[in-house]
Amino acid sequence: MDNFAFVIHPIDPKRDVERKFPLLGRLLPVSAINFLSRFFPPIYISHITGIRSAATGKEIEGWFVACPLTPARMMQLPTPVAYHKIVQTGHMAEKLGARLLGLGAFTAVVGDAGVTIASRLSIPVTTGNSYTIAVAVQAVREAAQRMDIPLSQATAAVVGATGAIGRVCAQLLATDVPQLILVGRRMEALEKVAELTRQRGQAQLQTTTDITAIHRADLVLTVTSAIETIIDAHHLKTGAVVCDVSRPRGVSRQVVEQRDDVLVIEGGMVDVPGDVDFGFDFGFPPKTAYACMAETMILALEGRYESYTLGREITIEQVTEIERLAEKHGFRLAGFRSFERAVTDEYIEQIKENARRKRGGA
Ligand SMILES: NC(=O)c1ccc[n+]([C@@H]2O[C@H](COP(=O)([O-])OP(=O)(O)OC[C@H]3O[C@@H](n4cnc5c(N)ncnc54)[C@H](OP(=O)(O)O)[C@@H]3O)[C@@H](O)[C@H]2O)c1
């Protein structure tokens, strides 16, 4: 049977360790989990069954395997140590018989974004970032429509625009909106992204290292690899949409607690075709997955055992192709969620109403 494996890792150390090891998760403080994660071996999580192509009827199976390092540990430890742990996890996937390995969240961020890891394994590796880009941009477009924000008049912002995902999202959004703000940490790198973006779209560009610039944006896509949140309640314009692709989150919970006039959605959640059983609760509703997981599934359904997305230079062509294959097999953007809760039509109507009132009052 065609198959794949996908590497996950704890993001919220206590909550995620507790999902697999209830006692350890409850007893150990975060600092101890972070410290001990370096010494844990890779962990077999579950067997995934029931993914079925809507186009061909083909069914595939897969496995979740976990790299025990938390994002903080992956960034603090010397990169070769993180590589070693991820490669060990890859070896576990190889022993299970996996023919393709997907790298989840920070295992795709660390170092050279999968290149070294792929060179040390005998099976191909993909970060899943091509489909993550496609789904993030789809989510921004759909959220704009549901919030009655016409793209043709909107100002958008990409936070983390110099990253692997951010750079291509910027190029795609530049074809939709007249004004685009590129936010990053390094001006020189931002200028390079701006140059690329100008070749793609007509949007007028602003490059900045100042996060407060997003206060002008109607649509914000945030995709940094910061360990801590970087978008707070006071950063956002009334009526804005924020699509948070970062894992761990880039948007502070304070935003939904203090701002009932902005919509925050999680980017990257998709419906999986078939009657999928992941054998593990990674915190999403049943039959939905992260877009990066979905990319690995799509490639297995296609029988394309190749390192589809590796490194930080992702092309629009890769994104367009995986988007087409996703549609063919029946993967699609799932309903929106905001801080673990489903976003209903009523919720969106309420935000729009609050924003209208606030603008009226102002
Ligand atoms: N939701 C999903 O399905 C999904 C799938 C894949 C990845 N992700 C998440 O997407 C995020 C980005 O991934 P990527 O592959 O694009 O990573 P990347 O290539 O390493 O890019 C990260 C970006 O974040 C910026 N950054 C890092 N630390 C920062 C900080 N403290 N403050 C502000 N900006 C900071 C970097 O700036 P510099 O260029 O200056 O370093 C860069 O622009 C990660 O959180 C990852 O876990 C989510």
Task: Please report, for the chain, the start and end positions of each structural domain, with discontinuous segments joined by +.
Answer: 3-130+271-333, 133-268+336-361
Burial state string for 255-293 with b = 16 or more CB within 10 A and e = fewer than 16: bbeebebbbbbbbbbbbbbbebebeeebebeebbbbbbb
Lowest-confidence pick of 147-151, 173-177, 336-340: 336-340
- Residue 126 vs residue 38, higher pLDDT: 126
> pLDDT band at residue 45, thresholds of 50, 70 and 90?
very high
- Residue 13 vs residue 44, higher pLDDT: 44
| Phi, psi torsion values for 291, nearest 5 degrees | -60, -35
CB hemisphere CA count around 231 (13 angstroms): 35
Report helix angle 316-329 to 291-302, nearest 10.
Answer: 70
Q: How far apart, in whole angstroms, are the C-alpha atoms of residue 73 and residue 289?
A: 24
Q: Is the CB of 292 under 6 A from ligand 1?
A: yes
What residue's CA is closest to ligand 1, atom 28?
Answer: 226
Q: How far apart, in whole angstroms, are the C-alpha atoms of residue 119 and residue 108?
A: 14
Q: Is the dihedral angle over the CA atoms 15, 19, 25, 26 positive or is it negative?
A: positive
CA 232 to chain centre: 19
Q: Is the CB of 133 under 6 A from ligand 1?
A: no
Q: Is the CB of 359 under 6 A from ligand 1?
A: no
146-149 — which CB contacts under 8 Å span 24+ positions?
Answer: 146/348, 147/239, 147/241, 147/263, 147/348, 147/351, 147/352, 148/352, 149/218, 149/219, 149/239, 149/241
How large is the average pLDDT for residues 159-164? 98
Spacing, Cα 42 to ligand 1 middle (Å)? 24
Q: What is the pLDDT of residues 223-243, one digit of tens each?
A: 999 999 999 999 999 999 999
What residue's CA is closest to ligand 1, atom 47?
Answer: 105
Q: How far apart, in whole angstroms, are the C-alpha atoms of residue 9 and residue 68?
A: 6
Q: Decide: 93 and 4 in contact? Cβ < 8 Å.
A: no
Q: Is the CB of 334 under 6 A from ligand 1?
A: no
Q: Is the CB of 222 under 6 A from ligand 1?
A: no
Which residue from 117, 225, 246 has its CB within 8 A of the most atoms of ligand 1, so it is best to mutate? Answer: 225
| Phi, psi torsion values for 94, nearest 5 degrees | -60, -45
Q: Is the pLDDT of residue 18 over 80?
A: yes
Spacing, Cα 57 to ligand 1 middle (Å)? 35
Q: Decide: 97 and 279 in contact? Cβ < 8 Å.
A: no
Q: Percentage of the chain with pLDDT > 70? A: 99
Lowest-confidence pick of 36-45, 77-86, 299-308: 36-45
Which residue from 224, 235, 295 has its CB within 8 A of the most atoms of ligand 1, so it is best to mutate? Answer: 224
> pLDDT band at residue 262, thresholds of 50, 70 and 90?
very high
> Across all residues in the chain, what is the average pLDDT?
95
Q: Is the CB of 245 under 6 A from ligand 1?
A: yes
Spacing, Cα 104 to ligand 1 middle (Å)? 13
Q: Is the CB of 105 under 6 A from ligand 1?
A: yes
What pLDDT score does 102 carry? 98
Q: Is the CB of 250 under 6 A from ligand 1?
A: no
Cis peptide before 248 (omega within 30 of 0): yes
> pLDDT band at residue 17, thresholds of 50, 70 and 90?
confident
Q: Is the pLDDT of residue 253 over 70?
A: yes
What pLDDT score does 362 carry? 57
Question: What is the CATH code of the structural domain delimited by 133-268+336-361?
Answer: 3.40.50.720
Nearest to 107 by CA among 52, 137, 68, 53: 68
Q: Percentage of the chain with pLDDT > 90? A: 86
Q: Is the CB of 71 under 6 A from ligand 1?
A: no
Q: What is the pLDDT of residues 62-83, one digit of tens each?
A: 999 999 998 888 989 999 999 9
Spacing, Cα 323 to ligand 1 middle (Å)? 21
Nearest to 28 by CA among 38, 19, 17, 20: 17
Q: Is the CB of 102 under 6 A from ligand 1?
A: no
What is the CB neighbour count within 10 angstroms for residue 75?
Answer: 16
Q: Counting beta carbons within 10 angstroms of the beta carbon of residue 50, is it exposed (0 to 12), middle (13 to 18) or buried (19 or more)?
A: middle
Q: Measured from the CA of 166, which atom of ligand 1 is nearest? A: 16
Q: Is the pLDDT of residue 21 over 90?
A: no
How large is the average pLDDT for residues 126-147? 98
